[in-house]
A and B are shown apart, each in its own frame.
Chain A
């Protein structure tokens, strides 16, 4: 069985402050890890992913996430947020076996204030 936990339902921060959105997962099989973002009134889109190799992955807009196998975590960070980063962020895992099962966490709403 697989599960994804995002403990923070909402994270308010001021513009230019750092932020960390937490994600922990459990799985009986090896998984790929993802962060998806949903901007207001838009669909979900991929932000970044970990498949293999370096445990630190980055997105084009300054976010990064680090895969920690021992802690089964994949936290998302950004050193300085912008107003435009206000969105809902979803952590997800997809099993590496042939089921291709893809499950999501409950989401974290990031609210960036001026």
Chain B
């Protein structure tokens, strides 16, 4: 079964600094990949999703971007962090169309100060 690696687990960054969160997947090829932000009372907000290398769909216009340079690598970035970017970020993958279950990484807690 697939395993998702996310790092770092915790990150404290100053306002205006850049961000790069990495997610890699093992145990499957050509996965569908997702970035979510989880906030208390607001559930999981879909930020970006990707069905293949270089193919990125953005859900919410904001201060973040995503890239998929390799089949099993998904990167969440920002050029200049805002205080409002603080949150818990989760990477997920699924295999489609026959295998519909999504698997999640352990998440990154980002605090912008």
Contact = CB atoms under 8 A, between A and B. Distances in A.
B104 A43 contact: yes
Interface string A45-84: 1100101000000000000000000000000000000000
Contacts of B7: none
Contact of B101 (A49, A101, A105): A49
Contact of B36 (A46, A104, A105): A104
Interface in B32-65: 32, 34, 36, 41-44, 46, 49, 51, 57
B10 interface: no
Contacts of B49: 99-102
Contacts, number: 60
A26 interface: no
A103 interface: yes
A110 B51 CA distance: 33
B32 A100 contact: yes
A112 B46 CA distance: 29
B107 A6 contact: no
A100 B96 contact: yes
Contacts of B102: 34, 36, 46, 92, 94, 102
Interface of A: 6, 9, 32, 34, 36, 43-46, 49, 51, 90, 92, 94, 96, 98-107
5 closest A-B pairs by beta carbon, nearest first, are A106-B43, A104-B44, A100-B32, A107-B43, A44-B104
Given A44-B104, A106-B42, 5 more contacts: A45-B104, A51-B100, A99-B51, A102-B34, A102-B94
